[in-house]
């Protein structure tokens, strides 16, 4: 059966409703029935359009991302990192961090969720990130053999997780910009 084409506005409304429900009840309790009721859609339409709950959740998260990392090119790696971090305000960053903490538990129980997140969210982000770093290498800002290059995503994800754990404070732009300037860029020799 062919997919019905939703307007971008309607698709955005559906994704926002999915994320709101996810924040309210968590992944375990999120059902296609609840999504259908919240969005005034039929469950059949949701399955026809997205195929599964993990795919719908991953696409909602992807839709919530402001643009593609590969499109950010300020002419310097520091500028690129700052541009990435300024795309989201502190309130949205806190909501996203809470959402990701909840999903980080669910991926251990639901391998299909992990697969959907990897395919639709993580791999595209890593590809864009790699392109951003490669541009810095091409400009001569970074050495291509810098051993820290392969650990930059780990450092950034670690910062997101550790702030709440260590300081019991939400991640915000000020913290992340300071972290990038104090830890990430020096590790890269920038």
What pLDDT does residue 35 have?
93
- Tell me the two tokens of residue 158: 């670690």
| Residue 185 scores a pLDDT above 80 | yes
The string of pLDDT tens digits covering residues 122-179 is 898 889 889 999 999 999 999 999 999 999 989 988 888 888 889 988 888 999 999 9
What pLDDT does residue 99 have?
81
Rounded to an integer, what distance in angstroms lies between the CA atom of residue 55 and that of residue 91?
26
DSSP designation for 5: P
| Residue 66 scores a pLDDT above 60 | yes
Task: Point out the least confidently predicted range of 36-40, 45-49, 159-163, 186-190.
Answer: 159-163
Buried b (16+ CB within 10 A) or exposed e, 94-115: bbbbebeeebeebbeebeebbe
Burial (CB count <10 Å: 0-12, 13-18, 19+), residue 63 = middle
The string of pLDDT tens digits covering residues 96-109 is 777 877 788 898 89
Burial (CB count <10 Å: 0-12, 13-18, 19+), residue 177 = middle
pTM of structure: 0.78
Q: Using CA atoms in the order 66, 69, 71, 73, what is the torsion angle rounded to 10 degrees?
A: 120
The string of pLDDT tens digits covering residues 16-42 is 999 989 988 889 889 999 999 999 988
């Amino acid at each position: 059966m062919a997919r019905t084409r939703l307007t971008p506005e309607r698709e955005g409304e559906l994704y926002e409703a999915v994320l709101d429900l996810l924040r309210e009840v968590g992944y375990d309790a999120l059902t296609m029935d609840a999504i259908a009721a919240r969005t005034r859609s039929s469950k059949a339409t949701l399955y026809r359009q997205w195929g599964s709950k993990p795919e719908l959740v991953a696409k909602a998260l992807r839709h919530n991302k402001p643009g593609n990392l590969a499109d950010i090119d300020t002419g310097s790696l520091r500028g690129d990192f700052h541009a990435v971090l300024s795309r989201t305000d502190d309130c949205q960053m806190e909501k996203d961090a809470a959402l990701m903490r909840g999903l980080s538990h669910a991926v251990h129980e639901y391998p299909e969720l992990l697969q959907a997140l990897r395919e639709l969210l993580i791999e595209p982000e890593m590809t864009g990130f790699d392109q951003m770093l490669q541009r810095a290498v091409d400009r001569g800002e970074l050495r291509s053999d810098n051993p820290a290059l392969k650990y930059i995503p780990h450092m950034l994800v670690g910062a997101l997780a550790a702030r709440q754990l260590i300081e019991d404070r939400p991640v915000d732009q000020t913290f992340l910009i300071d972290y990038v300037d104090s830890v990430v860029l020096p590790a890269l020799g920038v």
